[in-house]
Amino acid sequence: MSKEFPYTLTPPSKIINEVSRIANISIEEECIETNQKLLSRYSSKDVVAVMDIPPYDRALVDGYACRSQDILYASAESPVVLKLVDKDVINEGECKELNTGDKVPQGADIVVPREYTLRNEDNVLVYNSLPPNYGIGLRGEDIRKGEVIIRRGERIRPWHIALASAQGFKCIYVYKLPRAIVFSTGMELLEPGEPYRDGMIYDSTRRLVLSYLKWMGFDVSDGGRVSDDIYMIEKMFRKLLSEYDIIFSTGGTSIGERDYTVKALKRLKPEYIVHGFAIKPGRPGAIAVVNGKIIIALSGFPVAALSELDLVFKPLIEKLLNIRIDYPKIMGRLTRRIPSQPGITELYRVRIWIQNGEHFIEPLRLTGSGVLSTLIKGNAFLIVPEDSTGFEEGEKVEVHLVSW
């Protein structure tokens, strides 16, 4: 029961190619200290290990470093007696006391755990024979100098920070994401917190877009609301073009008489403009490149706007910055058939659940691009590609996990 959208619908792949070719937005990097501030940023360069980790052979136990051949015949009945020394080089018949993590002295190839020994003033009795390298973490066994520890475009996780720290890096290069702003259009909109008035709706789409972009890592600004007035919307776009690289509007993208957003967009004389995406939901969206900057006019319906973000904006920004914002991909069996129209990329909200060790994927039945409840009832997106006629019941499909 969705509206017929009369314009030509352009596939996301074509839009992404054209916009990324024409757009000219500043893509900057910055070196961020290897602490919490680095978390969830996107690396802008491969990070290569500059040293072996561990940087030297180190003790994995508290005990005594010695030569394996010296204790080859040690046993409970006939312990070997070693001379306790405190030197950087161990010779035949000698041992050195080490704590866990200490550097193993030259000449030693074993650290005998303290519980296999008895200390007797300046001598140590060893009661066990052990294989070479016992009790030792070998230099470079974790990371070798020259290995890539963070790939370009990867989102920084706690362990990336740990590895970069272990390499002694003070900071790591990451992208400054383009400056983005979102404003909404619509006379029927109320701001949350305002008293409710009949015939109005609270603006949820702008907040959905703002928080979705923040969740992707954008430091996105809230541009507030503009009236359904072609000149006000045009003025807003012009003002924001001087300050932001990416501008999002919500609402007014359809073909009704109050749908002024796309008309305003056209008055900016864009280098490139598409009105009508070959996606479902989200067909009425528009995208334009104006003075090299990107303007995306999203639908006013929240789920349509989310679909436009996910199927058009996300792959576009991934391509422009060479980053990966991927959700985890999971396979599961469809609990019912999903038909799809070829030529249209479709985004289904689905619920994935486990039964008897199998993943099942249930497409949520609710229709309508405004239906927010499917987003809290679902936990994943199923994307039906452009060329597909859909999937059968019981078929194994891949979904993108967005929450669980």
Q: Tell which positions 238-277 bind a copy of itself, by CB under 8 A.
A: 254-259
Q: Which of 93, 132, 146, 158 binds a copy of itself (CB under 8 A)?
A: 158
The contacts of residue 30 (CB under 8 Å, 6+ apart) are 173, 174, 176
What is the C-alpha separation between 246 and 252, in angstroms, rounded?
A: 18
Q: Binding string, 30-59, against a copy of itself, x = CB under 8 A?
A: ----xxx-xxx----------x-xxxx---
Q: How many CA atoms lie within 13 A of 375 on its CB side?
A: 14
Residue 51 or 344: which CB sits closer to a copy of itself?
51
92 or 358: CB nearest a copy of itself:
358
Binders of a copy of itself among residues 97 to 136 (CB under 8 A) are 99-103, 113, 115, 134-135
- Residue number, 21 or 122, with CB nearest to a copy of itself: 122
Residues 202-231 close enough to bind a copy of itself by CB under 8 A: 202-205, 207-208, 210-212, 214-215, 220, 222
Q: Identify the residue whose tokens are 């992208």.
A: 175
Does 4 bind a copy of itself (CB under 8 A)? Our answer is yes
- Among residues 14, 263, 269, 396, which is the contact residue for a copy of itself, using CB under 8 A? 396
Residue 8 sits in the site that holds a copy of itself (CB under 8 A)? no
Q: How far is CA 185 from CA 140, 208, 256, 298, in A?
A: 58, 14, 14, 10
Closest CA to 127 of 147, 140, 113, 108: 113
Residues of span 317-376 touching a copy of itself by CB under 8 A: 326-331, 354, 357-359, 366, 368, 370-373, 375-376
Please return the burial class of 273, using the count of CB atoms within 10 Å of its CB with bins 0-12, 13-18 and 19+.
middle
**Minimum distance between the CB of residue 261 and a copy of itself, rounded to whole angstroms?**
13
Report the C-alpha gap between 116 and 39 in whole angstroms: 44
Kindly state the number of chain residues that form the binding site for a copy of itself, as judged by CB under 8 A.
Answer: 106
> In terms of DSSP H, where are the helices of 273-313?
302-308
Which strand (E) or helix (H) includes residue 250? strand 246-250
| Closest distance of CB 274 from a copy of itself, Å | 20
Q: Which residue has the tokens 């990324």?
A: 20
Count the alpha carbons within 13 Å of 1 in the hemisphere toward its beta carbon.
6
Q: Which is closer to a copy of itself, CB of 100 or CB of 123? A: 100
CB 167 within 8 Å of CB 149: yes
Shortest distance, CB of residue 390 to a copy of itself, whole angstroms? 17
Question: Which CB atom, from 91 or from 373, has the smaller least distance to a copy of itself?
Answer: 373
* Contact pick of 137, 276, 282, 363 for a copy of itself (by CB under 8 A): 137
C-alpha of 293 from chain center: 24
Is the Cβ of residue 111 or residue 290 nearer to a copy of itself in the bound state?
111
Centroid of chain to Cα 227? 35
Q: List binders of a copy of itself among 64-93 (CB under 8 A).
A: none
How far apart are the C-alpha atoms of 335 and 396, rounded to whole Å?
Answer: 10
Nearest approach in angstroms of CB 114 to a copy of itself is 8
Residue identified by tokens 């229709």 is 367
Least separation, in Å, of the C-beta of 397 and a copy of itself? 9
Nearer to a copy of itself, 147 or 271 (CB): 147
Stretch that binds a copy of itself, among 29-37, 232-240, 266-274, 381-389 (CB under 8 A): 29-37
Residue choice 8, 121, 199, 242 for contact with a copy of itself (CB under 8 A): 199
Pairing assessment for the beta strands 80-85 and 94-98 based on DSSP bridges: parallel
